[in-house]
Structure 1
Amino acid sequence: MSFLVIGECVADIVRGADGTERIHPGGSPANVAHGLGRLGRDVTLLTQLADDPAGRLIADHLKGAGVRIEVGGVPARTPSAVVALDARGQATYGFDITWTLETGGLLVERPAHVHIGSIAAVTAPGADAVLAEAERFRGAATVSYDPNVRPALMGDHAGALARVERCVALSDLVKASDEDLDWLYPGEDPREVAARWLGLGPAVVLVTRGAAGSLALTRRESVFAEAPAVAVVDTVGAGDSFMSAVLDTLAGAEREVLAGLGAEHLTRLLRRATTAAAVTVSRAGARPPDRAELDAAGERFTVRCGRAS
């Protein structure tokens, strides 16, 4: 089956706690596309890239994983993010990004699944084009969404929340981190937010909680997975690697199948996605596993799961 990912590419300038600096290809949607390519999936990324050193670095990185790139407009420079890592490998971000996606005249093959998210789904003026493409394909394709909230780029809270909830309502599957939900709904229980999102339309909502593990919820089931013990190098791209593994595991599942996922299927989903994220945090940059690495890590890591109470 074919995947279409729509969203930004970003050059991540990673500054370590020791003062070292590295440049990695990044951007949440681009990372998801790259992860799917690494897992052997047929994937196209609809994005914007400038013809500059960072843009060429990112394009080579994506193409090396087998990702096809459709460019919807060329910005003056490739977007960048300064990623500062603390002593625990936790990341904070500062951005230099514009998003003006244009889709007129693009000939993107009709996909079986569309993934949207992050900056591209909420930042004007390009966000309108992202949602229009997702809505155009939704009749024949399933849709997933990851808000991947970046507070510095979200604008006023009420407007950002409305845009996020519009994307949630458009989607069949949604993944969010507990940090995303805390910014969107300060002080609310992530499980209560996830349950409310299910009422907006998605069949499955996933919540990642870093070292505290993850949750998967449908209207009938809720399952948790603990995070395996792993030496963390940095957390860049962990959530995107989780998302890629989720989409790979659910490849081909139609809306009715997603709605009917039972505890056993959700457990397998969380185990595989959690393992992918664990591999990614164990090495520098957004470097998701390929299929062989993921299978091997699944044998090596212990991920305890159960029904969430």
Structure 2
Amino acid sequence: MNPRAVLVFGEALADLVPEDGRGERYQCVLGGSGFNTALALARCGASVAYCATLSHDVTGRRFQARLVAEAIDRRFIAESDAPTPLAVVAPLGADGGARYHFHLAGTALAEPPPLPRSLTGFGHLHVTSFGATVGPSGDAALTLLRQARSAGLSTSYDVNIRPPALPDREAALAAIEQRMALSDLIRLSTDDADWLYPGGYVAPLRRWFDRGVSAILLTEGDRGAALERPGSETVRGFVPVAELVDTIGAGDSFIGAFLASLAQAGELGASLRGLSDGAAASAMGFAAEVAAETCGRRGCDPPRLTPKPPYQ
């Protein structure tokens, strides 16, 4: 097993991003939480493979070409005659935040990729968003999480809640918590946390430590991010955004860079369950830097940066 290699499972979407404030002109950029995270990992120097189903259409071919260009392992990519799923981004507000309208029915997302027969060669599995939570793709992600735990990999789950892509609240909450229970690391935003546990999310989140979760990474928008571990002090990461374009993919870039930093430090696999203070601090600082640069670019276009060695 290579403790530094990461397998990513999650959706690839075509993001239609507005180029003006009225929504009259749009740019089609490659996105989706799974693809974005794999891209950030690769650009930060990690060894990464991506597991997803991609369309044969022109956008699907763009995804394939980008995976090749970024040297992302495509062994677990399936191909489909169905079209690429689509996310239309509403005109952005002053905070650069994105609201999405999804077109998912009848697309390649409905056809989950065949799962790896073996996870030999990987130290960590990361699953993300609604592509790992609901439908046939969500079922495949759940199976893969169980397979990874049995094989001794560390696991992480990016909740990344998008209500328009989820079933009713009760069913969605049950599916999300089922995947949280199989994860060593959970990543979520404050909006995600408010949706999960309205009226106060701090105590309900910390109870997950009693269920075996090793770390919770909470991204807090323009306030940065906080990493909580049982019995340890909170580790924060913050880098100001020099010029805000949009926040699309900022959370994906953050978790991708965070995992890339841990991979370089040898802190994935069994080590993630006892993450050192130095590796945690270094990873949070690096991830904040990558996410800030991503916010200065249209869509999810993370920079090419090398993680720094862990703080001593």
Report TM bin, short chain.
0.7 to 0.9
Look up the match of 2:274.
260
Equivalent residue of 1:291, what SS?
coil
Residue 305 of structure 2 corresponds to residue 291 of structure 1: yes
Q: How many pairs were matched up?
A: 294
16-25 vs 115-124, greater mean Cα deviation = 16-25
Q: Deviations over 1:162-192 (max 9, x none)?
A: 1111111111111100111111112213x32
TM-score (norm 1): 0.88
2:222 aligned to which of 204, 211, 229: 211
Note closer, same or farther for the CA distance 1:8–1:109 as it changes in structure 2 (3 Å cut).
farther
- Cα distance in structure 1, aligned partners of 2:116 and 2:197: 38
Unaligned runs of 5+ in 2: none
Q: Deviations over 1:269-301 (max 9, x none)?
A: 211111110010011110111125x77xx9xxx
Note closer, same or farther for the CA distance 1:162–1:242 as it changes in structure 2 (3 Å cut).
same
Look up the match of 1:82.
88
Look up the match of 1:5.
8
1:63-102 superposed matches below 5 A: 63-69=68-74, 70-72=76-78, 74=80, 76-84=82-90, 85-97=92-104, 98-102=109-113
**Structure possessing the higher relative contact order (Cα contacts under 8 Å, 6 or more residues apart):** 2
User: What is the RMSD computed on CA atoms of the aligned residues?
Assistant: 2.2
Letter in 1 for 2:178: R
Give how far 1:242 is off.
0.3
Note closer, same or farther for the CA distance 1:95–1:66 as it changes in structure 2 (3 Å cut).
same
Equivalent residue of 1:163, what SS?
helix
Q: Deviations over 1:113-140 (max 9, x none)?
A: 1110101111212211111122112223
Q: Deviations over 1:232-268 (max 9, x none)?
A: 1010110011011111111132555334335443322
51-60 vs 109-118, greater mean Cα deviation = 109-118
Residue 135 of structure 2 corresponds to residue 133 of structure 1: no
- Cα distance in structure 2, aligned partners of 1:257 and 1:127: 27
- Cα distance in structure 2, aligned partners of 1:291 and 1:193: 35
Note closer, same or farther for the CA distance 1:254–1:12 as it changes in structure 2 (3 Å cut).
closer
Give how far 1:2 is off.
1.9
- Cα distance in structure 1, aligned partners of 2:270 and 2:155: 13
TM-score (norm 2): 0.87
Contact 2:57-2:81 within 8 A present in 1 as well: no
Look up the match of 2:156.
144
